[in-house]
């Protein structure tokens, strides 16, 4: 038998919830029950993937400490992850034992919250444990409290080992009938993979950047590009290009919010513009998209943008001044 413990407190010295968990762990060791504890404050970035750890558990303990109001954000995040990424079939077969200890007020409300959340997920709950602790030392030295904790732990052990049946709860049935959010149509394996990807900060960052770039492209298409589908900014530069003799220059525009810089190459009457990157452009310009809009809209020149400080420039300033000659935005 294996019981997983998910602790949603902050791990502070004197937390009465930790004392209860330590005594239960000792009891389960004596009963030859394997336990594994997950301190949510140590797994903040992996909370989305923690529901997958319930795969080999026969029962779980959800433990929270009420320090000022409610069960805390970490436990709420874990329950959200169970709803979004947890294997619902597995959750239905796992008995949940709630523990809520309070150093202020609201332990019973917290216990009710855990029970209702787990039942809404489709799981079953057994009689939990809650209490108010004003003085941690007195609480830990009280033998009657220890007996009560051990008795509740023994009840959990018997419930799991004897596979005691439970009467059906209405909360799960009502959730299926009135819930506004449709379940994710994924297999348990796909959901587990998704939870791991959600926990990967680098993956999430990359996906956000890709979505932002796609949104920008669709916005550009809707705002009206050329008939060939050319980027509107490129088309604007191309339509206002005035060839200059003896001009050979490369420009790199880093526009805030764009994944890739805009690269322009000018040689006499030849002009090329694209997204890309070059290591050593003749002129490097950094600016915001609204400044670029003002320049291409004729409301500001490149030179004025540089002089007013809204565009940062590095490189040949003579070639910078040529931009207002090569492109006449009016």
pLDDT tens column, 107-152 = 999 999 999 999 999 899 999 999 999 999 999 999 999 999 999 9
Task: Retrieve residue 95's tokens.
Answer: 């008995």
pTM greater than 0.85 (yes/no):
no
CA dist list (Å): 319 to 19, 135, 200, 283: 71, 74, 44, 7
- The confidence score (pLDDT) of residue 180 equals 47
- The confidence score (pLDDT) of residue 209 equals 72
CA dist list (Å): 251 to 2, 220, 273, 297: 64, 22, 9, 19
CA dist list (Å): 214 to 65, 163, 208, 253: 44, 52, 10, 20
Helix-helix angle 143-161:16-30, to 10 degrees: 50
Lowest mean pLDDT among 52-66, 159-173, 295-309: 159-173
Backbone angles phi, psi at 12, to 5 degrees: -75, 150
Lowest mean pLDDT among 70-79, 98-107, 203-212, 249-258: 203-212
Tokens 């790199």 correspond to 252
CA dist list (Å): 289 to 282, 305, 321: 21, 12, 20
**pLDDT tens-digit map of 250-261:** 999 999 988 889
Distance CA 100, CA 178 (A): 29
CATH tag, 2-198: 3.40.50.360
Instruction: For the chain, give every domain's residue range.
Output: 2-198, 232-326
Range 232-326: architecture per CATH: 2-Layer Sandwich (3.30)
Distance CA 260, CA 254 (A): 8
CA angle 162-166-171, nearest 5°? 150
- What value does the mean pLDDT of the chain take? 87
DSSP state of 241: B
């Amino acid at each position: 038998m294996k019981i997983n413990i998910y602790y949603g407190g902050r791990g502070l010295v004197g937390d009465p919830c930790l004392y209860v968990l330590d005594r239960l762990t000792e009891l389960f060791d004596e009963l030859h029950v394997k336990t594994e504890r997950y301190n949510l404050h140590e797994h903040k970035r992996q909370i989305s993937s923690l529901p997958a750890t319930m795969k080999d558990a026969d029962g779980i303990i959800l433990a929270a400490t009420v320090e000022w109001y409610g069960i805390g954000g970490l436990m709420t995040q874990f329950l959200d992850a169970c709803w979004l990424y947890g294997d619902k079939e597995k959750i239905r077969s796992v008995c949940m034992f709630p523990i809520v200890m309070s150093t202020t007020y609201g332990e019973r409300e917290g216990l009710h919250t855990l029970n209702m959340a787990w039942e809404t997920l489709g799981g079953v709950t057994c009689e939990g444990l809650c209490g108010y602790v004003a003085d941690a030392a007195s609480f830990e030295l009280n033998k009657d409290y220890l007996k009560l904790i051990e008795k509740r732990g023994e009840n959990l052990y018997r419930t799991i080992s004897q596979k005691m049946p439970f009467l059906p709860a209405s909360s799960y049935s009502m959730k299926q009938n009135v819930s506004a959010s449709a379940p994710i149509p994924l297999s348990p394996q796909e959901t587990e993979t998704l939870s791991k990807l959600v926990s990967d900060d680098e993956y999430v960052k990359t996906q956000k950047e890709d979505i932002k770039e796609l949104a920008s492209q669709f916005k550009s298409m809707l705002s009206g590009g050329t008939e060939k589908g050319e980027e509107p900014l490129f088309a604007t530069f191309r339509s206002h290009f005035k060839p200059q003799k003896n001009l050979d220059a490369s420009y790199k525009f880093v526009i805030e919010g764009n994944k890739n810089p805009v690269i322009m190459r000018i040689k006499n009457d030849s002009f090329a513009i694209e997204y890309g990157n070059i290591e050593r452009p003749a002129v490097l310009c950094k600016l915001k998209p609204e400044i670029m809009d003002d320049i291409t809209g004729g409301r500001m020149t490149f030179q004025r943008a540089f002089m007013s400080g809204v565009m940062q420039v590095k490189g040949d300033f003579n070639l910078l001044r040529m931009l207002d000659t090569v492109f006449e935005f009016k």
